[in-house]
């Protein structure tokens, strides 16, 4: 009986060790996973699509530009250059590439949600889905 308890204890320790190692590998990717989860499940893309098509894309573009400028000033890379995809990029060009990647991921999440793949997971209230097409009465 004591051997069984020792074996179970060793198994539990081994499983915990694997989980800790797996968590250490995934920990640096947590912000990217949070970005994907937010844009895939936290945003109502039916409403956002309407806003973007009515000119909201300009606001998204300006916000991205401001993020690149502020991020480039606050956190320049070591040596002032980024090494990515085998290229040597300056600070602001590298930050622009990063923001473009994040925006592409954001719009991919929107296209997945709009395709209907997430209908069972994305339940938005009907009051937020309805478009107010009736004129206001004063």
pTM summary value: 0.72
CA distance 83 to 109: 27
Residue 126 — pLDDT band, cuts 50, 70, 90? low
Of residues 104, 125, 137, 105, the one with CA closest to residue 46? 125
- How much is the pLDDT for 118? 78
Please tell me whether residue 90 adopts helix, strand or coil conformation.
strand
Where are any strands of DSSP class E within the chain?
81-84, 87-90
Residue 34 — pLDDT band, cuts 50, 70, 90? very high
Residue 39 — pLDDT band, cuts 50, 70, 90? very high
Q: Answer whether residue 30 shows pLDDT above 60.
A: yes
**Mean local confidence (pLDDT), 128-136:** 52
32, 37, 86, 88, 113 from 45: Cα distances, Å:
19, 13, 35, 36, 7
Q: What 8-state DSSP symbol labels residue 136?
A: P
- How much is the pLDDT for 138? 55
Reported as a single tens digit per residue, the pLDDT across 67-105 is 999 999 999 998 888 898 888 999 999 999 999 999 999
């Amino acid at each position: 009986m004591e051997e069984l308890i020792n074996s179970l204890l060793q198994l539990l320790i081994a499983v915990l060790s694997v989980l800790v190692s797996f968590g250490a590998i995934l920990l640096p990717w947590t912000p990217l996973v949070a970005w994907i989860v937010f844009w895939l499940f936290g945003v109502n893309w039916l409403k956002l699509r309407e806003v973007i098509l009515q000119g909201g894309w300009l606001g998204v573009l300006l916000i991205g530009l401001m993020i690149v400028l502020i991020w480039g000033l606050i956190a320049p890379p070591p040596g002032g250059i980024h090494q990515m995809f085998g290229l040597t990029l300056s600070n602001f060009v590298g930050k622009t590439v990063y923001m473009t990647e994040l925006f592409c991921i954001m719009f991919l999440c929107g296209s997945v949600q709009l395709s209907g793949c997430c209908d069972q997971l994305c339940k938005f209230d009907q009051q937020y889905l309805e478009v107010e097409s009736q004129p206001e009465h004063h």
